[in-house]
Chains A and B, each alone.
Chain A
Amino acid sequence: MLPPTNRCAKRRNHTSLLAGVLAALLLFVTGTAQAIPAYARQTGAACADCHAGAYGPALTPYGMRFKLGGYTDTDGKGTKIPLALQLTETHSNPARGDSSTTLSEGDLYLAGRLTDQVGGFVKVEADHTGHNTYNTKLSSVDLRFVAKELKIGGKDTLFGISVNNSPGFNDPISALPSASFLGPAGITGSLLNPSSPNSLANRVIGATAYALYDDNWYGEAGTYRSLPTSQQDHLGYNIGGDPGRLRDTAYGRFAYMKDMKKQFFSAGVVGLTTKRQLPRSGPSDDIVDLGYDLTYQYLGNRDHIVQLAYVNILEKRDYGSTPLIGGVLARDKGIVHDQTMTVTYTFKQTYGLTFTHFKSTGSRDLARFGPSGDPDTTTNLISLYWAPFGKDDSYTSIANLKLAATWFRFSRFAGREDDIFFAPPGTQRTDARDLNAFSISASIAF
């Protein structure tokens, strides 16, 4: 534990970290990739064909194939306008602080096919930032070229190229944190987790080549580089979240997936390696992420759908320097360990209940991880929702509404349950549960 004289500096760091954590929580509320009505209009399919809950986000095996195919499937009835809109009104009730009701987010999706081989997904997002102002930013991007219906060794094979701005966002299984937007929020985290401080999500650009062999074997490899801070600024991002300069970055993914119509399972591994300078004028850290993920879906006749996913990512860091922070020398190596377990039950693709358990742990570092030196953070997300439309037999199958009640629960933050910021005597202390938040949201997409 730090000497008392150094805790003030650490407390200031934690205040900014808290802001980052709460911002990351907003990702969970509205930032998840949802069913895109433009795709429904393009394919003639209902939202519920690709998503277990008709509003999304969890993909069915059919939705995975649509994504793998570069968003190019069509009902053959000519060109459709590849635009969709989403508006979200949120009532937020944090455990500490004022409640608020705002039009929290507006999204424009440019999503659809250009040709049989070229399609994409681009999201432009306007987030409420208070005082009736909104920040507009370029959110997720995934542009694809695909070559379908090839044969290798007599087996169906698909090849594709994806240009995207978040490693893992384009993953077909969509269990990786960048695709599900379900990653532990905390004072640190892996590069593959978009909820980590200074994450890569939407601030990098890269290309990956992928292949699906015999409908079951998926492989992908590619590279990324971070956008210059000036471009991040132009695209709507605060440069305080810059992921730093990346060199020698490689991303790889391999997975086996099996669609048995009434059931589905997958097992995969993922890796990312890079040399990162953060700040950009600073020394270079060697970072390696290695992870695995397991998923299972019971789909049956779609009346009762159960989906399970577990993701485990270990990040190894060799720091390029050991700075003295607050009088404490930082360590030269460290590990960060992100784990996410999600269970979702969906009834008639209309009512859903999701429970997610997040655990972020890592090696102790008094200089880098605040007063306790312990980054361990444990959180839960519980969400209950109703999505009445978007099915073949509903009022409309190509537009949708979602009402959701969501509860975030912190049971541990920065290694502590109580007094997480080491409040001086006589001042208000903050416990982990004070970060809890409850929200009710209404979203429409058309």
Chain B
Amino acid sequence: MSLSNRFYLALFALVAGGLATPATRAGDAAAGKDVFKSECAECHAVAEGRNKKGPSLFGIVGRKAGSVAGYDYSDALKQSPWTWTTEQLHTYLSQPAKKANPGTKMKYDGLDDAKDLDNLISYLETLH
């Protein structure tokens, strides 16, 4: 393989690799806090250990699904293999919860506004 061919192959790999990497969701965490208050706060607290109708969302990003101590999860979520990455949260919250996870106790119709969803997930990332 000639040097120029190697260069083009490397360039292709770089571009292809870049395309395969999930796009960074650049949300505004401050705006996401407002989204949280209107969409989530009635059922979820952000304080550690404070469960409401839904479990605490403290440390939600990176947490294994169904793992908050002292919260009585549905079997559907307890048996889920998910970890709440930003991508998993995006998938889960962009559709009705009962469609994303049939059997869940969570009643939520999903967040249609993509910007609001990015902002919300950026806010959830700050909860550590």
Contact = CB atoms under 8 A, between A and B. Distances in A.
B52 A302 contact: no
Contacts of B71: 76
A261 B38 contact: yes
Contact of B51 (A49, A77, A261, A301): A77
Contacts of B46: 392
Contact of A43 (B33, B38, B53): B53
Contacts of A76: 51, 71-72
Secondary structure call for the A interface: loop
A301 B45 contact: no
Contact of B38 (A44, A45, A300): A300
A60 B34 CA distance: 17
| Chain B: interface size category | 10 to 19
21 contacts: A44-B45, A44-B51, A45-B42, A45-B52, A45-B53, A49-B41, A49-B52, A60-B42, A62-B42, A74-B53, A75-B51, A76-B71, A77-B70, A261-B39, A299-B38, A301-B33, A301-B38, A302-B37, A302-B41, A392-B41, A392-B47
A261 B34 CA distance: 11
Contacts of A392: 41, 45-47, 50
Given A261-B39, A301-B38, A73 B53 contact: yes
A262 interface: yes
Interface in B25-41: 33-34, 37-39, 41
Given A73-B53, A76-B71, A49 B42 contact: yes
B110 to A, nearest CB: 12
A100 B30 CA distance: 49
Nearest to A45: B52
Interface in A75-95: 75-77
A299 B51 CA distance: 23
Interface in B1-40: 33-34, 37-39
A75 B38 contact: no
Contacts of A77: 51, 70, 72
Contacts of A45: 42-43, 52-53
A302 B71 CA distance: 26
Contacts of B42: 45, 49, 60, 62
Interface in B62-119: 70-72
A60 B42 CA distance: 10
| Interface pairs A-B: 3 shortest CB-CB | A76-B72, A301-B34, A44-B52
Contacts of B52: 43-45, 49, 75
Interface in A276-330: 299-302
A60 B51 CA distance: 20
Contact of A44 (B33, B39, B53): B53
A184 B113 CA distance: 43
A300 B36 CA distance: 11
Interface string A235-259: 0000000000000000000000000
